[in-house]
Amino acid sequence: MSHSLFLLPGDGIGPEAMAEVVKIIDHMNEALGAGFVTEQGLVGGSAYDAHGAAISEDDMAKAMNADAVLFGAVGGPKWDAVPYDVRPEAGLLRLRKDLELFANLRPAICYPALANASSLKPELVEGLDILIVRELTGGVYFGEPKTITDLGNGQKRAIDTQVYDTYEIERISGVAFELARTRKNRVCSMEKRNVMKSGVLWNQVVTETHKAKFSDVVLDHMLADAGGMQLVRAPKQFDVIVTDNLFGDMLSDVAAMLTGSLGMLPSASLGAPDGKTGKRKALYEPVHGSAPDIAGKGIANPIAMIASFAMCLRYSFNKVEEADRLEKAIANVLDKGIRTGDIMAEGCTQVGTSEMGDAILAEFKALSA
Ligand code: IPM
Ligand code: MG
């Protein structure tokens, strides 16, 4: 049986990080008969340079038809002046929207070896294991109107629209409750119901969904600003956090940094299961961006990208053992004191992107033997 993977390395450190995942895919095909068939496309600035669009129609079609998409990162100062509609980020947003990837899973796990790399005290983050479930196809990212108008008096007016329908809140909270059942069975929902109508509805719908179908799960609500504060005050109080697109963007960067580096955090973006096949459309990407300042130097941390592939094994292909093994391989390499610059600590060995990828692959092979 073959599994199609569409690779979109993108810009900046995206291609370097993706190259390390390709090594693992090749190994899994050769040694484990995994049957992955890969194709590669362009997204972001690299797609703009080639086609004048943030992603071509051809590559969109390939993403639609693939079993899973692996995405690197997009953007960089080179494309600061390109028109808004074709800016690098537009490629990613279109993929999320057109593939209807409404559920963004962002686990923040603090590997024991990295407790000291966090900007928080080690005891606050040691053993941290939280999952942010971010709504990804709605809210202020996509709401209309979204405009800047000239008021004609020397003033301009910018409008973004925060909009949520009941079904969008129901389905994302359903995902959060279901995942909580496989973890510590707790969900904290975050919104700003004290200021925003969308927050009022969010709170109501999450509460109703909980009551109707998931009353076995422990549900809390927090205002998103207080939630951000609690995330840095006592992050281990959380299990699953469910929140909207914009708050989820911000809170997941905060959560990422708790784990030591933005270079550590993977993510999965999932659609609804298909009525016939039960398969979900899916895209896997590191939470970090394209890091243009270090791109091309071979020093980027590929762990978030590799851990994103582990999520792909788990959620798209039900290769749970392989996913566990790959995550274990990452933890073991960190235990051995092998570090990229962003997570470097005293007494450890600093390596570049491809040495880190090789070390994880070697550990993965050893665990598979
Ligand atoms: C993320 C990123 C994106 C977002 C950008 C690149 C559009 O920050 O995935 O968190 O805002 O969603
Ligand atoms: Mg972000």
Task: Tell me the CB-side half-sphere exposure of residue 128, using CA atoms within 13 A.
Answer: 35
Number of structural domains the chain divides into: 2
Considering the domain architecture, whether residues 240 and 286 belong to the same structural domain is answered as no
Which among 366, 271, 262 has a CA at the least distance from the CA of 305? 262
241: in domain: yes
The model's pLDDT over 330-348, given as tens digits with 9 standing for 90+, comes to: 999 999 999 999 999 999 9
Could you tell me if 250 and 274 lie in one domain?
Answer: no
Please report whether residue 124 resides in a domain.
Answer: no
Q: Which of 249, 253, 254 to mutate to test the pocket of ligand 1 (most atoms within 8 A of CB)?
A: 249
Q: List, for residues 75-123, the tens digit of each pLDDT value.
A: 999 999 999 999 999 999 999 999 999 999 999 999 888 888 888 999 9
Range of the domain at 77: 1-106+263-369
Specify the CATH number for the domain of residue 275. 3.40.718.10
140 with 249, same domain: the answer is yes
Judge if 241 and 278 occupy the same domain.
no
Q: Which of 80, 165, 216, 225 is catalytic?
A: 225
**Confidence (pLDDT) at 262:** 81
Residue 39 CB–ligand 1 contact under 6 Å:
no
Residues of the chain with pLDDT under 50: none
Mark whether 245 and 267 lie in a shared domain.
no
Residues 282 and 363 in one domain: yes
- Report pLDDT for 194: 98
Domain boundary among 205, 236, 258: 258
Looking at residue 237, its amino acid is Q
Q: Is the peptide bond before 145 cis (omega within 30 degrees of 0)?
A: yes
Give yes or no: residues 254 and 145 share one domain. yes
- For ligand 1, atom 6: residue with the closest CA: 89
In-domain check, residue 203: yes
Q: Is residue 111 part of a domain?
A: no
Lookup: tokens for 90: 């537009």
Q: Pick left, alpha or beta for residue 249 (phi over 0 → left; psi -120 to 50 → alpha; otherwise beta).
A: alpha
Strand order in the sheet with 218-223: 36-40, 3-10, 68-73, 282-286, 266-270, 103-109, 129-135, 240-243, 186-191, 218-223
User: Ligand 1 atom 4: the closest Cα is on which residue?
Assistant: 249
Q: Any idea what the Cα angle at residue 268 is, between residues 264 and 86, rounded to 5°?
A: 95
